[in-house]
Every structure is written in C-alpha cells, then in structure tokens.
Amino acid sequence: MIGKTLTQVAENLVVTIEYTLIVGKEILDSSEDEGPLEYLHGYANIIPGLEKALLGMKVGESKNVVVAPEDGYGELEKDALMDVPRAEFPDDFPIEEGVELEIMDDDDNIVLVTIIEVGDETIKLDTNHPLAGKELNFEVKVTGIREATSEELDHGHVHMEGHSH
C-alpha cells in the first residue's frame, strides 16, 4: 500500500477539501478562512449529503453540491423551542435575541441554540441547528487523499498534529 497514489475518495481514506458554503445568497463558511478541511471518509464526520457527493471524486476535481435539509442539518422542528429561567444564565451573559450559544443536552452532547425571545423571567431558546430546514450549496474541491492511520480508523476521525485522544 505504501507509495500507492490514492486518486479517488473512498471509505476509510483521509480526504482534504477546499469548500465554500452558500445558503441563500450568503457565504456562511469557507475554507479560505481556516484552511482546507481534512476528514475521514465514511465516518459521518461531515454532513451526510456532502459526504455522499464526494464519494468517487478525484484529487483536483471540483463540483457544486446542493444538500437538501434532510441530508444536511435536518428539517426545522416546530417543537424544538425551550424556555429557560433567566436565573440559569450567568449575570454577565449577553442575553439578547439572535445570540447563539452552546449548551449540553441530556446525553452530554453539545448543542448549538439561538435565543429567540427575551422575557423578564424566561428566555426562549430555539434548539434547531441554525441551518436546519435550509438548502446548503457547497462549492467543493478535493485537494488531497491519503491513507488513514490505524489509530484514526479506530477513533473514527482525523488526528491533527499534537492531537492525542
């Protein structure tokens, strides 16, 4: 396997992509800001619709990928609103509509929520992902493919330099 040139995106390979995410007419995210994204293919490290579209792409190949909500961040859930007592927020927290914050759910997963209403006693949070219900447009280019290490395969994600867990 050593020295073999990997040319196509496939399961268990580490893939490097450059991308721009456009929702509506607005660029929401781009690898130009933080550099190319490296992920382990086949381990749900990126949204399912994008991962499916990348399968079989070659290094240097570009494509535009439209990801429907069900293959992205899910549909908008009407019952995903939550009232939290104002007292649960730290005194110095900026409580205002539109502020996004991360909270822990009952399973100890980090969830991104948005403040949608500020009351005297309670704060209403929307626990839908900010991109739920939205069609995602990715401009994506595969810039590299490599073998995953056995440790990366065991852990199910890419290990960055200096990353040990």
Cβ atoms of 55 and 9 within 8 Å: the answer is yes
- Domain-by-domain residue ranges, the chain? 13-73+132-155, 81-126
Q: What is the pTM of this model?
A: 0.77
Question: Quick one: average pLDDT of 11-37?
Answer: 95
Supply 26's token pair: 């607005």
Residue 34 pLDDT > 60, yes or no? yes
The larger pLDDT score, comparing residue 20 to residue 6, is at 20
Q: Measured between alpha carbons, how far is 43 from 148 in angstroms, rounded to an integer?
A: 12
**What's the pLDDT at 161?**
63
* Comparison of pLDDT for 160 and 56, the residue scoring more: 56
Q: What is the pLDDT of residue 163?
A: 47
- Alpha-helical segments (H) within the chain: 31-34, 48-54, 150-155
CB 71 within 8 A of CB 135: no
Q: Can you give the pLDDT at residue 164? A: 47
| CATH code at 81-126 | 2.40.10.330
Instruction: Supply the pLDDT for residue 165.
Output: 46
Give 49's contacts (C-beta < 8 A, 6+ positions apart): 65, 67, 68, 71, 72, 136
User: 140 exposed, middle or buried (CB, 10 Å; 0-12, 13-18, 19+)?
Assistant: buried
The pLDDT score that the predictor gives to residue 11 is 96
What's the topology of domain 13-73+132-155? Chitinase A; domain 3 (3.10.50)
